[in-house]
Amino acid sequence: MQTAATTLEKPKAAAPAGPRKAPEIDPANVKVNSSGFVRKEVVARLPAGFVSDDLKEPGVWRKVQVSGYPLNALDAVLVVAFDRSWCAEAIVSEAMRDGVTLAGIKIISMPRRNEVLLRDDTYAVTWNGAGYHVERISDGHKMTESVGSAALAERDLRNLYAKKLS
């Protein structure tokens, strides 16, 4: 008679996730608001997934610093979260080629949007951080290009349906 021996192996524990890597700011989303003789004021739209604590990480500005318009010491910065839920004001205290250190960071919470955007059973108008577009509800596919107002996106939604020609 032969008996089968079974061994119970402990499942391997998942490798601990490393520290979260902050998304880098795209230079195309940094605009000069005004420029004087000594300093400039810039507005930066942050990428999706960026949290306010990421502003403490100098490396998030690396791409901006190697672009055509790097930040300099004493420049004023206004950063706006991708979803506009918060913004922050700060002064550049140190600017290097590989990053920027901000001082006097003031976080401002923005009130939630009270605007109800149009939707039907198939499509919904949504805010994407830079404008409004229509997306298909079933799979989240972006159906139209971004436009500057909800009214234009609503027009685009209506245009997705066939029209009866007379």
Domain boundaries, the chain: 27-109, 123-159
Q: Is the dihedral of CA 25, 80, 96, 41 positive or negative?
A: positive
Judge whether residue 55 has pLDDT over 90.
yes
| Cα–Cα distance for residue pair 71/83, rounded to 1 Å | 24
Task: Write down the pTM of the prediction.
Answer: 0.66
Position 160, amino acid = L
pLDDT confidence of residue 77: 97
pLDDT confidence of residue 148: 86
| Cα–Cα distance for residue pair 61/82, rounded to 1 Å | 16
Question: Which distant-in-sequence residues (6+ apart) come within 8 Å of 57 by Cβ?
Answer: 22, 99
- Both tokens of 113, joined, read 């949007």
End-to-end CA separation in angstroms for the chain: 87
pLDDT confidence of residue 11: 56
Q: For 66-87, what is each residue's pLDDT tens digit?
A: 998 899 999 999 999 988 889 9
Local confidence band at 20 (pLDDT 50, 70, 90 cut-offs) = confident
| Cα–Cα distance for residue pair 46/80, rounded to 1 Å | 6
Question: Which distant-in-sequence residues (6+ apart) come within 8 Å of 49 by Cβ?
Answer: 23, 82
> Which CATH code, of 2.160.20, 2.60.40, 2.40.240, 3.30.450, is assigned to 27-109?
2.40.240
Q: Which helix (H) or strand (E) holds 39?
A: none
Helices and strands in the chain, H and E counts: 2, 7
| Cα–Cα distance for residue pair 133/151, rounded to 1 Å | 10
| Cα–Cα distance for residue pair 139/98, rounded to 1 Å | 39
Judge whether residue 22 has pLDDT over 70.
yes
- Both tokens of 156, joined, read 């685009």
Q: Which helix (H) or strand (E) holds 138?
A: none
- Contact indicator for 63, 25 with CB cutoff of 8 Å: yes
